[in-house]
Chain A
Amino acid sequence: DQQVKQNSPSLSVQEGRISILNCDYTNSMFDYFLWYKKYPAEGPTFLISISSIKDKNEDGRFTVFLNKSAKHLSLHIVPSQPGDSAVYFCAASDGAQKLVFGQGTRLTINP
């Protein structure tokens, strides 16, 4: 049972435009959500997070939005840069310190 889903395996965006990556979850006990970025043959690195008491968190070019009623979160990257090309993973935690990840979305930024 995939509790965290990223339904788009890949996304291609032109440099300078906005990249929007989506994530859906099924477990209503999840109360903390994170986005990670991963390059090939490396471990994921933390990008940004959001607590369930918020609906938006912003850090520079990265903004995460949370819609609890829809069990949906999204990551916005504005403006997109070539170095943003990577696989992005959405993750959720239920407070028991167990982190569950989605399948990942491969983002390609085209010059």
Chain B
Amino acid sequence: SQTIHQWPATLVQPVGSPLSLECTVEGTSNPNLYWYRQAAGRGLQLLFYSVGIGQISSEVPQNLSASRPQDRQFILSSKKLLLSDSGFYLCAWSVFSEAFFGQGTRLTVV
């Protein structure tokens, strides 16, 4: 069966520090991978999606970047965090249209 791992579950980082959130998927090949952020009043905002290794599409201009170094690995990064980067970040995968989510990372930038 397919599983998705996302870590860490919670993270507190100072403003200006770097960020790296990792997501891995098991039990499937060549999945589409997504990073979402849940923000009050905006629901689940799609940040990045990837249909293959090295292929990243950015949906919203921001202080974040994403990379897919391996087929089942998706990384969300920032060189310098802003206060506005605080939020609940979710990784997801899909093979067809249905998406399956990780447990999320609560990021607090202080």
Contacts and interface: CB of A to CB of B under 8 A. Distances in A.
A98 B92 CA distance: 11
Contacts of B42: 103
A42 interface: yes
A21 B18 CA distance: 40
Interface string A84-97: 00000101010101
Contacts of B97: 32, 34, 49, 93, 95, 97, 99
B90 interface: yes
Interface residues of A, number: 24
A101 B46 contact: yes
A49 B34 CA distance: 19
User: Secondary structure at chain B's binding surface: helix, strand, loop or mixed?
Assistant: strand
B100 interface: yes
B94 A44 contact: no
Nearest to B49: A98
Contacts of A104: 43-44
Given A41-B106, A43-B90, A99 B46 contact: yes
Contacts of B94: 97, 99
B101 interface: yes
A44 B43 contact: no
A44 B100 CA distance: 8
Query: Which are the 3 A-B pairs with shortest beta-carbon distances?
Result: A43-B101, A103-B43, A101-B44
Interface of A: 6, 9, 32, 34, 36, 41-46, 49, 89, 91, 93, 95, 97-104
12 contacts: A34-B99, A43-B101, A44-B44, A44-B90, A46-B98, A89-B43, A98-B46, A99-B34, A99-B99, A100-B46, A101-B36, A102-B43
